[in-house]
Amino acid sequence: MNPHFDTDNMVFHFRYTFQNGTIKEFRLELDRKTLNLVHPPKPVTAPQWAELRYFQCPNCVLDADRHPFCPIALNLVDLIAAFKDSISYEEVEVMITTEARTYLKRTSLQKGLSSLLGIYMTTSGCPTMEKLKPMVQYHLPFATKEETLYRVITMYLFAQYFVSKRGGQPDWDLHHLVNLYREIKILNKRFSERLSQIGLKDASLNALTILDWFAENLTFSLDKDILDDIESFFDVYWTA
């Protein structure tokens, strides 16, 4: 599968090479203006586990009569099928190609999948996850927890700047960011329950657990005020 960047859309090309030579590839296209998934891979017959009412998140705001399928689940059908028999600790070579650069790492399958899973979850149209969508524009595969924390807070403060610019009340103290990640944690837990019902091995489930681990630790980090280390990087702004 060639990445094919001759398109107006933003393209992510994921290539997983297993030790036995097996290769699995995924191409994601996002609309540049909306960052919505373009031409998502919809199955001819969606499985029951993709239905919205099937383990619907308790904080989900979608109406099942108008949205019969969970938008994230529907777009993950092919991904889940591709890795349903895979073990999380299998070592793979992961190559992620974008227009600007290529990322290459040998890592466990669960860590390699978490990046792809994260893009699907934020660009599929889930109202809870959509607030993280601006991060996809500057997606950083294989990010450390410190890098991810920095990117999340930067994104959120940008959002507050634009809220203020439009006459709204910005949340400079990050209170609603903590609440957002609490909502995401509920979603991750429920989605794990959804996937656990379909006889998967643990690769996809553990990739989701990695994302959930960050949701847990971000709320802890902000609640415990352990941002002091980051604050020290900016000393020059008030000591000059």
Q: Which residue type, as a one-letter code, is found at position 183?
A: E
pLDDT of residue 80: 85
pLDDT of residue 215: 62
In a domain, 2, yes or no: no
In a domain, 93, yes or no: yes
CA pseudo-torsion sign 168, 174, 179, 180: positive
Residue 187: which of 129, 113, 109 has the closest Cα? 129
pLDDT of residue 2: 54
Structural domain range at position 126: 11-239
In a domain, 3, yes or no: no
pLDDT of residue 224: 56
In a domain, 6, yes or no: no
In a domain, 5, yes or no: no
Query: HSE-up of 64 (CA within 13 Å, CB side)?
Result: 10
In a domain, 146, yes or no: yes
pLDDT of residue 225: 57
Work out how many domains the chain is built from and give that number: 1
pLDDT of residue 207: 60
Does the pTM surpass 0.95? The reply is no
Residues of the chain with pLDDT under 50: none
In a domain, 4, yes or no: no
Question: Are 48 and 54 a contacting pair, CB within 8 Å?
Answer: yes
Q: Which long-range contacts (CB under 8 A, 24 or more apart) does 57-60 make?
A: 57/128, 57/186, 57/187, 57/190, 57/191, 58/186, 58/190, 59/128, 59/183, 59/186, 59/187, 60/127, 60/128, 60/187
pLDDT in tens, 88-129: 788 999 999 999 999 999 999 888 888 898 899 999 999 999
In a domain, 191, yes or no: yes
Cα(124)–Cα(30) distance, rounded to whole angstroms? 10
